[in-house]
């Protein structure tokens, strides 16, 4: 974001394993060169008794930072946790926005995504609702006019050529619909990334702000998405096509078994390329390199969180969409007979009711998926590069990291 100095460009942050505050990554004192490095709250060195003195001076107590100054918590609740220290043994951390500024666990990442959807719904809801509506409107028209010419005869009555034509037409429609969905997802991801990045700092963001920040990187984000999809397809062709061309089914199956885990590994390895591209204003190649660097050593953790998020969002979407699809098929598609023989699949009633369910589901699911990805990116940069210090400065917490925060 142009107005958020918390997102450092690649190369300006410490390398992996070097957190600010440790050897090799400690922030420099603001004291003049050669001057004492004590904080303003500590006595100067001359007032401490020297070893072996006859009248040792009683120990002094360092003043503690006052609660309720700079972190936004209630008076009498130190470190932002009601009742005292952080629960469950977690270190205290400032929380200017939707997440605490420290390494997060699974629950905190999911909670941060939901909290952003709830507290910034005026920005999140219009983006996802408009994009989902446009995508589903185009998809309904494509399905209606491309599937209307299919031969819907029963399998026992259809010839081989008719069945092949039906399969080819269905695949064509599926490819077109998926491509439309992909473009919509890219726009939503770009704009929601900016909203979530502001929410981390506790700042509101309007739809116009999100579009203004996301627009310069939109073409590059399309490049990242298409390059990922094309790479996966080419890799599948290299591994599976030889077996199919040779009519060797075991070889094709072996290629498929190699392709699936390889795609999963590469997908997680480059899963943070999108937020890296948007928030660091980097190039396509640099975004892939940054994602690979941030994921290194944490692949299984990111894989687990990503899969769990996919299961949760898939379940939520299924619960929403299924009643609309069944209700539309029963009301407008000829009942169970139309469902079984597929004759009602292209009726306007079925397509429209299914699209309504998909619009509702995508409006809820897309922010969740985008939010978890952005917060995973932030979490990995906090763990590896000390991004929490930069986020605290961007949020106006000037004493963060120097007075117990």
CA–CA distance, 132 with 356 (Å, rounded to integer): 10
The residue among 297, 359, 356, 370 whose CA lies nearest residue 328 is 356
Domains in the chain: how many in total? 1
Per-residue pLDDT band at 42 (split at 50, 70, 90): very low
The answer to whether residue 183 is domain-embedded is: yes
The alpha carbons of the chain give a radius of gyration, in whole angstroms, of: 28
- Give how far Cα 49 sits from Cα of 56, 61, 347, Å: 6, 14, 90
157-197 pLDDT, tens digit per residue, is: 556 666 666 677 677 778 888 888 888 899 999 999 999 99
The answer to whether residue 19 is domain-embedded is: no
pLDDT for res 274: 95
239-277 pLDDT, tens digit per residue, is: 999 998 888 999 999 999 999 999 999 999 999 999 999
Per-residue pLDDT band at 397 (split at 50, 70, 90): confident
pLDDT for res 345: 67
pLDDT for res 327: 87
What does pLDDT average to over the chain? 77
Place of tokens 């009633």: 349
Name residues whose C-beta falls within 8 Å of residue 220's C-beta, 6 or more positions apart in sequence. 277, 283, 284, 287
- Max distance between CA atoms of the chain, in angstroms, equals 109
The answer to whether residue 378 is domain-embedded is: yes
The answer to whether residue 388 is domain-embedded is: yes
CA–CA distance, 214 with 330 (Å, rounded to integer): 42
Element at 350 (helix H, strand E): helix 348-385
- Give how far Cα 94 sits from Cα of 66, 173, 338, 369, 404, Å: 14, 50, 58, 25, 10
The answer to whether residue 151 is domain-embedded is: yes
End-to-end alpha carbon distance in the chain:
25
Per DSSP, the three-state class of 55 is coil
Which structural domain range is residue 315 located in? Answer: 109-215+298-394
The answer to whether residue 48 is domain-embedded is: no
203-245 pLDDT, tens digit per residue, is: 998 999 999 999 999 999 999 999 999 999 999 999 999 998 8
78-132 pLDDT, tens digit per residue, is: 333 333 344 445 556 789 999 999 999 999 999 999 999 999 999 999 999 999 9
Computed from CA positions of residues 300, 305, 310, 311, in that sequence, does the dihedral angle turn out positive or negative?
A: positive
The answer to whether residue 52 is domain-embedded is: no
Mean pLDDT of 372-379: 96
Contact 106, 308 (CB under 8 A): yes
* Greater model confidence, 184 or 48: 184
Instruction: Note the pTM of the prediction, 2 decimals.
Output: 0.74
CA–CA distance, 96 with 104 (Å, rounded to integer): 15
pLDDT for res 320: 96
The answer to whether residue 238 is domain-embedded is: no
């Amino acid at each position: 974001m142009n107005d958020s100095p918390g997102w450092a460009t690649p190369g300006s942050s410490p390398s992996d394993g070097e957190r600010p505050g440790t050897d090799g990554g400690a922030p420099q004192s603001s004291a003049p060169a050669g001057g004492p490095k004590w904080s303003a709250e500590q006595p100067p060195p001359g007032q401490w008794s020297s070893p072996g003195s006859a009248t040792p001076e009683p120990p002094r107590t360092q003043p503690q930072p006052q609660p309720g100054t700079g972190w936004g918590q209630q008076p009498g609740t130190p470190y932002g946790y009601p009742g005292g220290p952080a629960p469950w043994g977690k270190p205290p951390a400032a929380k200017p926005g939707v997440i605490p500024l420290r390494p997060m666990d699974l629950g905190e990442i999911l909670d941060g995504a939901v909290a952003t959807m709830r507290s910034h719904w005026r920005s999140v809801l219009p983006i996802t609702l408009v994009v989902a509506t446009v995508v589903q409107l185009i998809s309904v028209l494509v399905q209606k006019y491309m599937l209307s010419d299919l031969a819907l005869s029963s399998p026992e009555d259809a010839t081989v050529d008719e069945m092949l034509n039906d399969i080819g037409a269905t695949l064509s429609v599926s490819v077109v619909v998926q491509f439309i969905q992909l473009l919509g997802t890219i726009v939503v991801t770009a704009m929601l990334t900016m909203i979530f990045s502001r929410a981390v700092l506790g700042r509101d963001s309007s739809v116009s702000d999100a579009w203004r920040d996301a627009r310069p990187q939109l073409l590059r984000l399309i490049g990242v998405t298409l390059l990922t999809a094309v790479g996966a397809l080419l890799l599948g062709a290299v591994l599976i096509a030889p077996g199919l061309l040779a009519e060797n089914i075991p070889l094709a199956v072996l290629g498929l078994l190699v392709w699936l885990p390889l795609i999963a590994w590469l997908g997680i390895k480059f899963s943070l390329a999108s937020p890296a591209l948007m928030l660091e204003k980097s190039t396509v190649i640099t975004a892939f390199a940054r994602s690979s660097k941030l994921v290194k050593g944490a692949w299984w953790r990111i894989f687990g969180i990503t899969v769990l998020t996919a299961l949760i969002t898939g379940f939520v979407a299924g619960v929403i969409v299924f009643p609309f699809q069944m209700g539309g098929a029963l009301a407008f598609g000829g009942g169970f007979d139309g469902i079984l023989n597929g004759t009602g699949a292209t009726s306007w009633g079925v397509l429209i009711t299914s699209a309504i369910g998909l619009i509702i589901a995508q409006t809820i699911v897309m922010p969740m998926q985008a939010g978890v990805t952005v917060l995973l990116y932030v979490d990995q940069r906090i763990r590896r590069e000390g991004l929490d210090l930069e986020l605290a400065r961007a949020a106006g917490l000037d004493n963060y990291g120097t007075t117990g925060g």
